[in-house]
Structure 1
Amino acid sequence: MPVPVTEGFAPLSVPGAGKPCQTYYKIFGEVKSGVTPLIALHGGPGATMNYLLSLADLAEPPYDIPVVLYDQVGCGGSTLLPEKAGDVDFWTVQLFVDEFHNLMKHIGIETYDVLGHSWGSMLGLEIAVRQPTGLRRLILSSGLASMKLWEEATRKLLNTLPPDVVETINKHERAGTFDSPEYAEAMVAYNQQFVCRLDPYPPEVLATFKALEDPTVYGTMEGPSEFTITGSLKTWNITPQLPKITVPVLITNGAYDEAADSVIAPVWKALPRVKWYTFPDSSHMAQWEERAKFMQVIAGYVKLE
């Protein structure tokens, strides 16, 4: 019997939006099946659920874990707000925390596990430090605890690329010519090493890269690139709040990941109930690069007694 797939929109009240908003979501499996559903938080900020669609594997036998994916407001199938580009007072972490809980209430989910990828892991941590009663387990996939550590790690990785690629990227970053075809071509070399090492990229990954061409959310909160952080998240650092997390945590990353060990190590050091798995043949998208193994690791963790 095929796994049921449900799509819908959750009405979302966003102060300051100036119009009604909604969150587009997709559910694989039955959230009322008695198995704790896994809620996936995509990266960016400003990406889409597309590149996490491989997680639907978890809803299939033998795992049978209900999976909820959604596009965060401002991107994908959710309400777009291009008129809010550059508005740092609008695009806040709290906006996305509130959206998450609004979605849980709309769907009727009271107990859940969270998997956050990249920026989604930051959001997952922000949810966890607030100690919601429904959170059972937290998975930080290719995540980070401090934007300063992230910037240091990604800049270090950039400098391992061929000198001509590094110089091209640095030249355009100094000039602010981020829309240059030459800059885009040089960034491909970075992405192929540290973001997704598959060739060709899965269509779902390409769809998310396309969505990130809209700078509304990513440009406002992060900046022009993975290693030049100028947005409102530049000073983000959740390390001091980590002791507030009371649920078990799983860390995952790839051996070639731009989310290097150093960027998530504060979580490992701060929490008593934390596990860590590194995918040996992956960069930032182990959910595609080592798809079967990724599902085994995640399912094994959420099914622990």
Structure 2
Amino acid sequence: MASTPTAKGTVPFREYKTWYRITGRPGSGRPALVVVHGGPGSTHDYLLGLSALAEQGWPVVHYDQIGNGGSTHLPDADPGFWTPQLFRDELENLVTRLGIADDYILFGQSWGGMLSAWYASGRPTGLRGLVIANSPASYKLWLSEMDVLRSQLPPGVDETLRRHEAAGTTDSDEYIEAMLVFYGRHVCRIEPWPGDIMASYIEAVSDPTVYRTMNGPNEFHVIGSLRDWSVIDCLPDIDVPTLVLSGRHDEATPTTVRPFEELIPNVRWEILEESSHNPHFEEPERFYELLGTFLESVHAAGPRTTTVSGG
């Protein structure tokens, strides 16, 4: 259940606007938790439950990345406009404009975890900690593991998917029905899906510009501009405590997540055994226990004594 926000609005980003929502009061003694949603091309809605952390004193900032939700939509933008650098610049602009750049923690989910890891590798001043939830470290690893997961679907499902992918008919009802078999196993195992997930899904479908350009028609058929993108090379440069979370049934399989554990210097990885890609819904008690313990440990450690401003 989302908590009542204390502020909502937009901040200017270049000639555009980024929509944000704040729960709690930044500057009240604890780092702000900045929530970076997935996609790219989703919205903040499916992560709104994190706003409840404000009740424990954590200011929580949600925002919609450009192209989606309450932020500026650009359905006619050239495909080359949509780059990871755009979203990294937007995140930096957001924390600066909101006045929290000297004391915050990043929580990135799925694509948002990759973006947050890349951003953190620049060692921005004021970043205190990092949570990477349900994220691959590389889209090449992701695509390789999608083949593994697809091969384990019930008989005939993957054949149906591949037939439509080859024909370019991924909007067909038959394809979508087969797609949902994968989603029910590896995206969210709750039936029906929680309303907040459906809200993000509907938003993404209503304007699929970003998702289709950068990702593709769905989670496992990645044919967009991110298909070769990786953050593996930058992981050793992350210098803040990092918590990595994933689900046992996650589309972000252990193979895709392991580079975070192997390469980030100060990292802890927890796998939630009964979850897929949305453990904040699938195992909320365990999820919030792990997250809360991590946040407390970062706060107890105090501000970093040395920081290097990232570019």
Give yes or no for the alignment of 1:117 onto 2:86. no
TM-score using structure 1 length = 0.93
- Aligned position for 2:85: 94
What is the DSSP-based 3-state SS (H/G/I as helix, E as strand, rest coil) of the residue aligned with 2:76?
Answer: helix
Amino acid at match of 2:178: A
- 1:111 CA drift (Å): 1.3
Distance between the aligned counterparts of 2:66 and 2:113, measured in 1?
17
Distance in 1 of aligned mates of 2:136 and 2:125: 23
Q: CA deviation at 1:216?
A: 0.6
Q: In the alignment, which residue of structure 2 is the partner of 1:249?
A: 242
User: Within 5 Å, which residues of 2 pair with 1:289-304?
Assistant: 289-304=282-297
Residue 276 (str. 1) matches residue 277 (str. 2) = no
Q: Which residue of 1 aligns with 2:163?
A: 171
Any idea what the Cα deviations from partners look like across 1:111-144, whole Å, max 9, x if unmatched? 1100100000111011011111121111100011
Q: Which residue of 1 aligns with 2:148?
A: 156
Q: Superposition RMSD on alpha carbons, in Å? A: 1.3
| Partner residue, 1:197 | 189
Tell me if the contact between 1:57 and 1:295 (Cα under 8 Å) persists in the aligned partners: no
Partner-residue secondary structure (3-state), 2:7: strand
Structure 2 gaps, min length 5? 301-311
Give aligned-pair identity as a percent: 44
Amino acid at match of 2:45: N
Q: Is the 8 A contact 1:279 1:286 kept in 2?
A: yes
Quick check: 2:41–2:209 contact (8 Å CA) kept in 1?
yes
Counterpart contact for 1:151–1:226, Cα < 8 Å: no
Residues 1:104 and 2:107 are matched in the alignment: no
Shift of 1:280: 1.2
Matches of 1:297 and 1:6 in 2, distance apart?
27
Query: Displacement of 1:4 after TM fit?
Result: 5.0
Letter in 1 for 2:65: Q
Given that 1:4 and 1:30 are in contact with CA atoms closer than 8 Å, whether structure 2 keeps it comes out as no
CA distance in 2, matches of 1:29, 1:280: 31
Residue number in structure 2 paired with 1:49: 44
- Give 3-state SS (helix, strand or coil) of 2:152's partner: coil
Compute the TM-score of the two structures, normalised by the length of structure 2. Answer: 0.91
Corresponding position of 1:36: 31
Whether the 8 Å CA contact 1:144–1:264 is kept in 2: the answer is yes
Q: Which residue of 2 aligns with 1:8?
A: 9
Q: Distance in 2 between matches of 1:239 and 1:121?
A: 12
Change (3 A) 1:98 1:284: same
Q: Once structures 1 and 2 are overlaid, which stretch shifts more, 117-126 or 163-172?
A: 163-172
Partner of 2:307: none
Q: Secondary structure at the match of 2:156?
A: helix
Indicate if the aligned counterparts of 2:37 and 2:64 stay in contact, CA closer than 8 A. yes
**Partner of 1:261 in structure 2?**
254
In 1, Cα distance between equivalents of 2:263 and 2:155: 37
Q: Relative to structure 2, which stretch is displaced further, 42-51 or 3-12? A: 3-12
CA contact (8 A) 2:65 2:87 kept: yes
TM-superposition CA deviations, 1:203-251 (whole Å, max 9, x none): 1101111122232101111122222222111111221221111111111
Return 210-219 or 252-261, whichever deviates more: 210-219
Task: Count the aligned residue pairs.
Answer: 294
1:299 to partner: Cα distance: 1.2
1:81 and 2:74 aligned: yes
| Helix, strand or coil at the partner of 1:246 | coil
What is the CA-CA distance between 1:189 and the residue it aligns to?
0.8
Contact 2:237 2:264 survives alignment (8 Å): no
1:65 equivalent in structure 2 = 58
SS of residue in 2 equivalent to 1:137:
strand
* Aligned match of 2:179: 187
Distance 1:3 1:229 in 2: 36
The answer to whether the Cα contact below 8 Å between 2:5 and 2:21 also exists between their aligned partners in 1 is no
- Does structure 1 conserve the Cα–Cα contact (< 8 Å) formed by 2:20 and 2:63? yes
